Structure 1
Amino acid sequence: MNSQATLDARRDASELDLEHDEQRAGSSGKVLGLRSDWARLPGRSVEVWLLGEHVATGVVDQAAEDGSVLWIAAEGISTRRIFDKSSGYQIWA
């Protein structure tokens, strides 16, 4: 299997994981799971964690294509925030 086929297979598996979680959550949408493919999260409500501590909750405004960073949309008096995976942030959605 070439590297592109491997990437596509991983992407397909991530899509199935998201669909499965949404189905399990039903109408409540309350099932949270650790997300590794941040590029697929724009528009979703997420929790941001760092070293076991909750950092933020919000809607993903944008994510880098490579999934290395994402932005949480501004809400109320809070400004738009960026989080990068290499710093150890975890995203739960």
Structure 2
Amino acid sequence: MKNKMHYQRQWLPLVGQEVAIRFDTKTVRTGIVDAATADDQILWITAQGSEPRRMFQRTDGFSVWIAYKWDTSQPPS
């Protein structure tokens, strides 16, 4: 995920997309969204390598970020 990351308020449309999960300003996990609840409060990232499938809840302070495929700008250094 080399492109600039964008905050995503809606989680359900992200199913199947590669995202970054952040807590505060720190990225805690990246991966493919496996599922999300219709109310955009909970999502699951697929298992990858040694990382198990994991659930993230908005109420716990997690946020979801994605690099838009059409955005080729680089983040500031």
Check whether TM > 0.5. Answer: yes
Q: How many residues align?
A: 66
Give 1:29 shift: 8.2
Query: Who wins on radius of gyration, i.e. which is larger?
Result: 1
- Structure 1 equivalent of residue 27 of structure 2: 54
Identical aligned residues as a percent: 32
Q: CA deviation at 1:36?
A: 0.5
Structure with greater strand percent: 2
What residue in structure 1 maps to residue 59 of structure 2? 86
Name whichever structure is richer in helix by fraction: 1
Q: Which stretches of structure 1, 4 residues or more, deviate above 6 A after TM superposition?
A: none
Report which structure shows greater RCO (CA 8 Å, sep ≥6).
Answer: 2
TM-score by length of 1: 0.66
Taking the aligned partners of 2:25 and 2:2, their CA distance within structure 1 comes to 22
RMSD value, Cα: 1.6
Cα distance change of structure 1 residues 29 and 44 upon mapping to structure 2, 3 Å threshold: farther
Unaligned runs of at least 5 residues, structure 2: 67-77
